[in-house]
Amino acid sequence: MQDSASVGIVNPQVTHIDQPLTLKSGAVLNCYDLVYETYGELNAQRSNAVLICHALSAHHHVAGYHSEDQTTVGWWENMVGPGKPIDTNRFFVIGINNLGGCHGSTGPVSINPASGKPFGAGFPVVTVEDWVEQQARFATWLGIEQFAAVIGGSLGGMQSLQWGIAYTERVRHVLAIATTPKLTAQNIAFNDVARQAIITDPDFCGGDYYSHGVTPKSGLRLARMLGHITYLSDDAMAEKFGRDLRSGTYNFGYEVEFEIESYLRYQGDKFASYFDANTYLLMTKALDYFDPAHAYQGNLSSTLKNSKSAYLVLSFKSDWRFSPDRSREIVKALLDNNLDVTYAEMTCRHGHDSFLMFDEHYHDLMRAYMNNILL
């Protein structure tokens, strides 16, 4: 079914953690489930483990398939597999669904043991720092003292950066792709419109829609449509859709008319049919909150002063959501600390979503960096 460069059919695993986790908000999760997948083999020295951190809408299923059905493919199949840039013949790769997610790890849809009902609006807000704490504990449980690399794009890149700050002795290489040390006002503004779309949907029911037998599909659909625009570049949209009309002529009404409308509404509908609205809210808040330099008077160089990891920072010129300027801020702070840093700005035209797409230069760079990691 799959090509030889795929890890093939994989089975997610679940672990139950009983050690209480105090979140940044002060809330405590007494116990929780984490769902994860692994690809490749942990070597005898336990020196080849790689953690993949997921972004807003993704999860633990990074590579391979869940069944013969090709649509069950992992979200980074083009990057992770035997012979691929993150080579599972060499590395033991871990994908994990973060707390607050809606793909198996404990989140708003999970049953709250205290009430016997879904957490819903009662699920605490989680931060990038919380996730990294959760990932570090999970690594310990798995017997991994140090990762060869922690890798992520976008919100995932924030997690890899946080590893370099909070757990530098446990990660030799931090790969931060299409990310930022903090959101701008514009970024936060887009997130707030998305959240308001969900929260003001009458079917949101204050976040406890599960018990009302409804979901805030309209709001979640709008949030996704809006998000999608910001993940693509103006040029990429112009190339793919331009002003193409579905019927070749104006219909002077509000049904789908331009191809771009059809595409966006379809993406919105699809997403709203499977993703949890409360998780969406949580993920956007985690994005907004991430600002590790805040505790250092906004000085990112000071924030990274104890980091000992090596870094690969990658940005995409067409990414206007987290533009190369943001990556340059990271690189500057790393250089201020005389850290080992490799940086590239790539020309892929897909905007922010470029980090998920196949591009020869991008993949060659990733491959070269990963191949140079000593085990």
- Binding residues (CB under 8 A) for a copy of itself: these are 24-27, 124-125, 182-186, 188-190, 192-193, 195-197, 199-202, 218, 221-222, 225-226, 229, 232, 234, 237-238, 240-243, 250, 252-254, 257-258, 260-261, 264-265, 268, 281, 285, 288-289, 291, 320
Residue among 145 and 239 whose Cβ is closer to a copy of itself: 239
CB atoms within 10 A of CB 208: 16
Residue among 137 and 265 whose Cβ is closer to a copy of itself: 265
The catalytic site residues sit at 154, 319, 352
Residue among 2 and 218 whose Cβ is closer to a copy of itself: 218
Helix (H) or strand (E) holding 230: helix 217-231
Residue among 5 and 199 whose Cβ is closer to a copy of itself: 199
Q: What are the DSSP calls for 34-68, one per residue?
A: EEEEEES---TTS--EEEEEP-TT--S--SSBSSS
Least separation in angstroms between residue 25's CB and a copy of itself is: 4
**Separation of alpha carbons 247 and 261, rounded Å:** 13
Instruction: State how far Cα 291 lies from the chain centre.
Output: 16
Q: In a 3-state reduction of DSSP, which class is residue 282?
A: helix
Q: Which residues contact 139 (CB under 8 A, 6 or more apart)?
A: 49, 51, 145, 147, 170
**Separation of alpha carbons 239 and 242, rounded Å:** 6
Nearest to 257 by CA among 244, 239, 270: 244
Least separation in angstroms between residue 238's CB and a copy of itself is: 5
**Separation of alpha carbons 237 and 264, rounded Å:** 11
Least separation in angstroms between residue 355's CB and a copy of itself is: 19
CB-side exposure of 237: number of CA atoms within 13 Å?
20
Least separation in angstroms between residue 161's CB and a copy of itself is: 17
Q: Which amino acid is at 275?
A: F
Residue among 3 and 244 whose Cβ is closer to a copy of itself: 244
Whether residue 236 contacts residue 218, with contact meaning beta carbons closer than 8 Å, is answered with no
Nearest to 302 by CA among 155, 165, 163: 165
Residue among 151 and 222 whose Cβ is closer to a copy of itself: 222
Least separation in angstroms between residue 199's CB and a copy of itself is: 6
Least separation in angstroms between residue 202's CB and a copy of itself is: 6
Whether residue 355 contacts residue 177, with contact meaning beta carbons closer than 8 Å, is answered with yes
Least separation in angstroms between residue 309's CB and a copy of itself is: 26
Residue among 20 and 202 whose Cβ is closer to a copy of itself: 202
Least separation in angstroms between residue 217's CB and a copy of itself is: 9
Q: Which long-range contacts (CB under 8 A, 24 or more apart) does 124-127 make?
A: 124/23, 124/25, 124/27, 124/29, 125/23, 125/25, 125/27, 125/282, 125/285, 125/286, 126/23, 126/24, 126/98, 126/99, 126/100, 126/282, 126/286, 127/23, 127/24, 127/25, 127/285, 127/286, 127/289, 127/290
**Separation of alpha carbons 156 and 68, rounded Å:** 28
Residue among 197 and 366 whose Cβ is closer to a copy of itself: 197
